[in-house]
Copies of this chain bind each other. A is one copy, B any other.
Amino acid sequence: MKPNVLGIDIGGTNIEIGIVTEDGQILKTFHYPTKQFPTAQDFAKTLQNIINQTKDYNIIGIGIGAPTANFFTGQIEYAPNLQWKGIVPLEKLVNQATNLPTKITNDANAVAHAELRFGAGKNLDNFTVLTLGTGLGSGIVVNHKVLYGSHGLAGEFGHTQVDPNGRLCNCGRKGCLETYVSIRGIMLTYKELGGKQDLTPKQIFELAKNNDPIALQTYRKTAQILGSQLADLVHLFDPQAIFLYGGIAHAHELIIPTARDEMERNLLNAFKNKVQIKPSQLLDKQGAILGAAALIWENLKN
């Protein structure tokens, strides 16, 4: 069989694993609750078993996307939502357990790798992916490469400060973008605007489609905050496109037009009408698996 790689998406709740071909087909998937692995060593052993049981698939490498995973150090570093605490040398542990080339990166950068290799970014040199979920992650592509900066930390758009007196963020600071533009942010905005119940963004989206004024205003406000901050992002990176990925991106019909208007209104003249905002075409959950797999395919320089 032609060579394949494992693409792994480690989340706070679930771990999704796919066997991925060179052209981005997912041949087989595995699914585990994250809690099943008290330590990263336990997880590495399970990967060893998977590799042994799938010899037919000719697996030649393992790519992993995980929260706070650092592409340069190969470590997961103080992930607040994982039970693996502190600094976890995951790349080394998996490599030792499986004897296969292993690369890790954070979950948002993984989606950027997926767009670059398998998605709408294939023919773009400069674009940004925003992963809109519990928080707001971002992967920034410059000159057809994912931007890592000097310590593997670059691309933290979600913690741009929108308002120094704004909502308290999990990071300890106030007014970060992700306190507004995320699942939690949308739920809180809905309540602040007078919504009577605790509703999910999906429920609020359904209400908005039925012209509920509070729900509509919730999405409008969310999109305005996003759009105004996107203007500053565009001033810095001059990208060709911005892709929205993740749970909230499903509401793109409510978010994108307003975000685009607000972004354009805030752009310097030279930048106007040059950048597209689009929903990612990568299917949910598959983006991170494909991106993790892309880490290995990229390194093979094929």
Chain B residues near A46 (CB, 8 Å)? Answer: none
Judge if A148 is at the interface, Cβ distance under 8 Å. Answer: yes
Interchain nearest-CB distance for A59 vs B (Å): 31
Q: How many copies does the complex hold?
A: 2
Contact A145–B143 (Cβ < 8 Å) = yes
Contact B161–A228 (Cβ < 8 Å) = yes
Judge if A271 is at the interface, Cβ distance under 8 Å. Answer: yes
**Contact indicator per residue, chain A 255-278, by CB within 8 Å of chain B (1) or not (0):** 000000000001011110010000
Chain B residues near A160 (CB, 8 Å)? Answer: 232, 235-236
Interchain nearest-CB distance for A267 vs B (Å): 9
Judge if A50 is at the interface, Cβ distance under 8 Å. Answer: no
Interchain nearest-CB distance for A152 vs B (Å): 7
Contact B266–A157 (Cβ < 8 Å) = no
Judge if A142 is at the interface, Cβ distance under 8 Å. Answer: yes
Contact B268–A159 (Cβ < 8 Å) = yes
Question: Which listed segment binds B: A33-41, A237-245, A286-294?
Answer: A237-245
Judge if A98 is at the interface, Cβ distance under 8 Å. Answer: no
Interchain nearest-CB distance for A257 vs B (Å): 20
Contact B236–A173 (Cβ < 8 Å) = no
Contact A238–B173 (Cβ < 8 Å) = no
Complex: A159 Cα to B151 Cα, angstroms: 26
Contact A164–B238 (Cβ < 8 Å) = no
Contact A270–B161 (Cβ < 8 Å) = no
Complex: A75 Cα to B268 Cα, angstroms: 18
Contact B149–A126 (Cβ < 8 Å) = yes
Judge if A156 is at the interface, Cβ distance under 8 Å. Answer: yes
Judge if A67 is at the interface, Cβ distance under 8 Å. Answer: no
Judge if A296 is at the interface, Cβ distance under 8 Å. Answer: no
Judge if A231 is at the interface, Cβ distance under 8 Å. Answer: yes
Contact A150–B266 (Cβ < 8 Å) = no
Complex: A268 Cα to B240 Cα, angstroms: 28
The 4 closest A-B CB pairs, nearest first, are A149-B238, A154-B238, A156-B235, A153-B238
Interface residues of A (CB under 8 A from B): 68, 77-78, 125-126, 140, 142-143, 145, 147-157, 159-161, 164, 171-173, 228, 231-233, 235-240, 266, 268-271, 274
What are some 21 contacts across the A-B interface (CB < 8 A)?
Answer: A78-B270, A125-B150, A126-B150, A126-B154, A142-B143, A143-B143, A143-B145, A147-B237, A149-B237, A149-B238, A151-B271, A155-B238, A156-B236, A157-B235, A157-B236, A159-B235, A159-B268, A164-B228, A171-B269, A173-B268, A236-B236
